Amino acid sequence: MASVKKFAIYALRVVGVLWILFCIPGAFAVDYIFLIVAIPGLIPFFIKVSSKATKAKIDPITLQRIAREKQIYSESVDIMKNTKSIQTFLQRYSDVERTARNIISLSGGFEQFDNVSLFCDILPKVIEKEIQSAQALKTTKGRKDRLMKIINMLEAFEREDDKIDEAISAQQHRIFLILEKDVDWSNEKMPDISFTKEKIEKLIEERAAELLNGRGGSL
């Protein structure tokens, strides 16, 4: 209904402009009385569609649903701001996104949210708390495992916005720098990728056995 009313007003404004353009040449060519005649063409420009009036037409049940969604949204934002857990932060942000979409849909688009800025502003603070908790652990392995867990959780998070992707990448880089300083990689167990004569001979024998077995033969 509101869109029909808007269209009608815009149509009247177009007619009003055409009427004014018609009257102006007459004012110069015949009489200035045409300027007075042109005044009605200005009337449509003073008619406005009130968004408040449209919002008031939302039924009471829908308003109750919007209020519930707003409460969930507000609670989720508060938890995001106060949590020390990146897992809780990411879970609550998903709730924030979901409730924001519901509110926008129920309100007909009158409500707007800047969830991306919210995420980017709070994330570094949560990561700082996580880093402090990790660095309080006594063993190098414990600290490394805790920091790697944070990196993996950030990596697994679905990113639907470039700014969120950049914010996550920046925090991952921050944690990697801490890992680089804190962990003595020379003492860490690494996979053995060296090739000795014995390993090469063993690989050749195993491959030859596979080929012979495939042909029904044996070594």
* Mean pLDDT in consecutive groups of 10 residues from the start of the chain, 219 residues: 58 59 58 53 54 62 94 97 97 97 90 94 97 93 94 93 95 94 59 58 69 57
CB 115 within 8 A of CB 100: yes
Inter-residue contact 124 to 76 (CB < 8 Å): no
User: Would you state the pLDDT for residue 177?
Assistant: 93
Cα 193 to Cα 85, 113, 154, 206, 210: the distances in Å are 37, 52, 30, 18, 22
pLDDT at 7: 59
State the pLDDT at residue 130. 97
162 neighbors 170 (Cβ within 8 angstroms) = no
Q: Greatest CA span in the chain, whole angstroms?
A: 117
What is the rounded CA–CA span in Å between residue 146 and residue 134? 6
Of 71, 163, 74, 84, whose CA–CA distance to 119 is shortest? 163
Is residue 1 helix, strand or coil? Answer: coil
Which pLDDT does position 114 carry in this prediction? 94
